[in-house]
Chains A and B, each alone.
Chain A
């Protein structure tokens, strides 16, 4: 090893060769170069926070998906597929595709035509300042936590795979993201996310291809998993009829309604981290096509995330365990399955690209969180609550500084997250706290004219508090699981699904009840915000192949076929 890297500890899965270090170094140089190149193109608020609203459908769509491909997607879901089997694929299919298509066809017109800078900004226009403040503060809180989780996951991979010191990894990656996002704003984040998306595929694709060759194809892989684990691990729907029949301890109603409807719609349609990328599209058609393009690629991400986890079940000689057991026994944890598979097939050169793919995933997720945090903080907290007369120039300056501040808070969060044993379950809990009720508020705001400002605020608050309350209830009294998740056999993920469902129902119920007894906004103030009061441009002049609805139907058909194939 190069003496320059002597500070790295010797306990590692793989040893990098010079060519690997060259590939990783080139990646860091390129993302920084893009940030410096775009610095001069982010001088106004529209440029810095909205990338000038001039992204094509392809760029916005790939960025939309890449911002979601953080460390939790790559490493966490590979780990989940080793632990729970192919059930993890539901987070990519029913837990994503319907919601992404719904965003494109139903919700995007309102977001785009309202010209909002953010989701909390939409709530301000639709329901008033109090709803915006509640949403903005909870989003900012969730975002820096997510960013910290991303950092911790990346640092963990670097420690396990390369033996890099965990603090070194956190600071190098976070400072790189801080530099390129603070220089070029959302445009720089989007450019790098598209680059990272390509690198993730280029670096990770080798694992499933070689894994299938080694296992002897999908059918043989199923047989090997059935022998080493259980046949249930390779069926997506077949064993969901009973809580105790599948490794996740979940019922199909939890997957369909909790994940497929509430959590997924909440995340993909109201989480500003992803919606921000689509708002940067150059026109409404591009804004509608972007989530459809994202959905088309999303359906195939399991090939580089879920399949490696399943292959790990079949071909890895050792048995992976939970984090606590791994630490106690000196073995390998579920979270290490992707790096272990990488080390299994990739010789020097490809190994460097594979490591770069992991780093790219971590950094795209981190940059997504930080750029969204910067926008919400500047427009919806600083501009709305602290300095209402801020000029555009002041906003851009604030955006640059709070990008750096957001990174620093995230670093602090990463150190806190180290204390948690199960990263994924923790994040799912966070989603159900904030995202599920927010979806209830936004969807009622877009589709129901009668929803009043008071209804929007109290519904959102009730949904959020009830979700936190249910979580605390089960923590204090584990037997409460039978009420929250409908079964004492439910595992953490199943509990999160049902808690999200209840909090959404409570949010909607309170919103409707309060709206019916309070004064709605005048119709004249709802133009561009609500169904029935918004003039949506006709697409009649477009050819069939240009129409978003056509491609949405194509994606929906492929989605159905995939579910049947892996039933």
Chain B
């Protein structure tokens, strides 16, 4: 994006960081809940939304981080 290619860290990099961190946390929680189901299971718990949604966010976040990673000379 032009506004971020010259002198700023791109907003898309911040978004990538956010998605990646949230994705990892949610994925981790999902994996943990496989072995330690919560006391009160939510509706459709058997679909394990935490795992697949966390994975989607992690992949998307990692992609954005790599694409918009600030680099010397081209932040």
Contacts and interface: CB of A to CB of B under 8 A. Distances in A.
A352 B1 CA distance: 30
B3 A350 contact: no
Contacts, number: 100
Interface string B23-36: 00111111001000
Q: Is the interface of A mostly helix, strand, loop or mixed?
A: helix
A202 B64 CA distance: 15
A401 interface: no
B49 interface: yes
Given A19-B29, A206-B53, A349-B26, A27 B18 contact: yes
Contacts of B69: none
A17 B47 contact: no
Interface residues of B, number: 32
A348 B33 contact: yes
Contact of B11 (A23, A54, A59, A282): A59
Interface string B1-39: 111000011010011011101100111111001000010
Interface stretch (A161-169, A339-347, A368-376): A339-347
A439 B64 CA distance: 40
A345 B44 contact: yes
Interface residues of A, number: 38
A30 B17 contact: yes
Contacts of B1: 56, 58-59
A198 interface: yes
A54 B2 CA distance: 9
A473 interface: no
Given A26-B22, A56-B2, A206-B53, A348 B43 contact: no
Contacts of B26: 19, 23, 349-350, 352-353
A199 interface: yes
Given A213-B44, A347-B33, A349-B54, A195 B18 contact: yes
Q: Quick one: which of B8, B47, B50 has the most chain A CB within 10 A?
A: B50
B22 A353 contact: yes
A343 B44 CA distance: 12
Interface string A352-363: 110010000000
Interface string A165-206: 000000000000000000000000001001100110010001
Interface in A27-78: 27, 30, 34, 37, 41, 54-56, 58-59
Contact of A55 (B3, B17, B41): B3
Nearest to A280: B3
A56 B19 CA distance: 22
B57 interface: yes
B42 interface: yes
B22 A347 contact: no
B49 A210 contact: yes
Contacts of A59: 1, 3, 11
The 10 closest A-B pairs by CB, nearest first: A349-B29, A349-B26, A19-B29, A349-B50, A191-B11, A54-B3, A347-B42, A56-B1, A344-B43, A198-B15
Given A213-B47, A349-B29, 19 more contacts: A26-B18, A54-B3, A56-B3, A58-B1, A198-B18, A199-B18, A199-B22, A202-B57, A214-B43, A214-B44, A344-B43, A346-B42, A348-B38, A348-B50, A349-B25, A349-B33, A349-B50, A350-B26, A356-B22
